[in-house]
Amino acid sequence: MERVLQIENLCTEFKTERGMLKAVDGVSFEVREGEMLGIVGESGCGKSVTSQSILRLYDEKSFVRYTGDVRFHDESLLALSEKQMESVRGAKISMVFQDALSSLNPVFTVGDQIMEAILIHQKRTKAEAKEQAIEMLNLVGIPDPGRRFHQYPFELSGGMRQRVMIAVALACHPQLLIADEPTTALDVTIQAQIMDLIVDMNKRLGMAVMLITHDLAVVAETCDRLIVMYLGQIVEEGRVEDIFDHPMHPYTMGLMNSIPKLDTAKATRLYQINGTVPLLNQIPVGCRFAPRCPYATDLCREEMPELSQVSETQGVRCHYRNGRNGGFVQERLEYEAG
């Protein structure tokens, strides 16, 4: 399958009062045509920063520095001028965000906001754009789109707003949709509907989707491939079924063990990964996960492991991957998880 997006050694650094902080550190991956790629990790792992770096959404004048390469087909996005970048955003690569209420402009109607995207990127008259916008509302499953067109975001329900945001993002038929936790702010039932919609759009429009989430269950149901990020780096990547069957990185295992299961007895405590994600100015020297890893050794604390392929489709960043260096005992983790 052809690559839509290829990221190589991407680093995103922010200028702060405490110096440059690297939120994304040497991330490389690709998104293939029509696939659904999941990116998971705790808050503060650089998932959102990675996705917003692709569209270069941060203020470049004083705030951020990107290095590495982001290629959309054969075009290097980091080398484009701001003007050229504008014609990529929303037209070729689109993005939907977590909270639709705050992400839709409160003072413009839903219709205006969809039309704006169309009028920027496509040569349409206002009437044509309006027609197209109503079509989009219909496509994302909004009943009575003609009436909704004239309503403001605050007049719609949460699920409806999320659909509107998807309509805005898809208005110009992008080849890649980046969905940054699109269901986090929604009710569980609405979450399922929105995920169904995204999967449906992926299938129907043949559009690649990069799904950023911390919900592994959603990834298991919808994605083809999975990337696990920790503290600005990829720690494991591969096909969803491979990783779910044989997670190789202790962090991935920890995430999976943290999912509550129906057959667990009520009295057992839910598994948790000890500690929290360190701040960006306190990045450990060796393996970044070492301070929280139940199997960490001196080797882990001193030397940073590389991301290495363990099979044709799976890569892991761990000294003890696949039983190497003696390996760690998976049973022990499962035992500890109860």
Partner 1 sequence: MQKFIVRRLLSVIPVLFVVSVVIFTLLKMVPGSPAATLLGDLATADDIAKLEEKMGLNRPLVEQYFIWIGNMFHGDFGISTAGGEPVASVVFSHVKPTISLALYALIIASVIAIPMGMLAAKNKGTGIDHGVTVLSLAGISLPSFLFGLFLMLIFAVKLHFFPVSGYVEISRGLWPHIKSLTLPAVALGFMNAALMMRMTRSAMLEVLGSDYIRMAKAKGVRNFVITTKHALRNSLVTIITMIGQSAVQMLAGAAVIESLFAIPGLGQLMVNSIGRRDYYVIQAIVLLIALFNVLINMLVDLLYGVADPRVRAT
Q: Which residues bind partner 1 (CB under 8 A)?
A: 52, 55, 57, 61-62, 82, 86-91, 94-95, 97, 99, 102-108, 116-117, 120-121, 152, 154-155, 165, 168-169
Of 171 and 248, CB closest to partner 1: 171
Of 55 and 139, CB closest to partner 1: 55
Of 112 and 224, CB closest to partner 1: 112
3-state helix, strand, coil in the chain (%, to 5): 40, 20, 40
CB of 90 to partner 1, least distance (A): 4
Of 94 and 213, CB closest to partner 1: 94
Give pairs for 154-158: CB < 8 Å, separation 24+.
154/101, 154/106, 156/110, 158/100, 158/101, 158/185, 158/186, 158/187, 158/190
Amino acid at 91: A
Of 110 and 293, CB closest to partner 1: 110
Question: Is residue 36 within 8 Å of 179, Cβ to Cβ?
Answer: no
Question: Is residue 179 within 8 Å of 96, Cβ to Cβ?
Answer: yes
CB of 46 to partner 1, least distance (A): 17
CB of 132 to partner 1, least distance (A): 15
- Which tokens is 116 given? 């704006």
CB of 2 to partner 1, least distance (A): 24
Rounded CA separation 338/261 (Å): 11
The three-point CA angle 151-90-138 to 5° equals 40
List the one residue out of 3, 115, 68, 113 whose CA is nearest residue 233: 68
CB of 331 to partner 1, least distance (A): 45
Of 126 and 261, CB closest to partner 1: 126
Question: Is residue 217 within 8 Å of 259, Cβ to Cβ?
Answer: yes
User: Residue 323 carries which DSSP code?
Assistant: G
CB of 86 to partner 1, least distance (A): 5
